[in-house]
Amino acid sequence: MEDVMRKLKIVALILLGAFSAGWMGVASAAPGDCAAELLAVDAAIRDAEFVGTKATTDESNLLAKLAAAQAKVDLNKYSDAVDKLQNISDTATALAIAPKPKLVDASGINGAVATAISCVAAL
């Protein structure tokens, strides 16, 4: 139970930081750290059409996963960052193909993630 609470606190802090800073964490990355590619993932998530009663939560969760991937890039943990980016793609796909879809189309997110993964994997 403590582990679940700790993880919830971490997600809440990531979300708070991302929203209060206007997503400056991704924007402030050095050009060599795939900033443009990570910003494209951010834009794809924000441009995607989430549906259902938890649409805002689903979008926020993907943005939190992106913040976690950026944190791994900042720590030079590129393999971990790739795993987090892949999780974004997997989650977007799951939301789109669910029996009651929560995402109209995952292709924009998945394309941006694929490009970001290529960049981060090359670091």
**Residue 101: is it exposed, middle or buried by C-beta count within 10 angstroms (0-12/13-18/19+)?**
middle
Count structural domains, the chain: 1
Cα 21 to Cα 89: distance, rounded to the nearest angstrom: 24
**Residue-wise pLDDT tens digits, 33-62:** 899 999 999 999 999 999 999 999 999 999
pLDDT of residue 33: 81
Q: What is the amino acid identity at position 109?
A: I
Q: Which pLDDT band, with edges at 50, 70 and 90, does 1 fall under?
A: low
Cα 29 to Cα 33: distance, rounded to the nearest angstrom: 6
89 is in which domain, residue-wise?
A: 2-121
Q: Is residue 32 predicted with pLDDT exceeding 80?
A: no
3 state SS of 50: strand
**Contact yes or no for 51/2 (Cβ under 8 A):** no
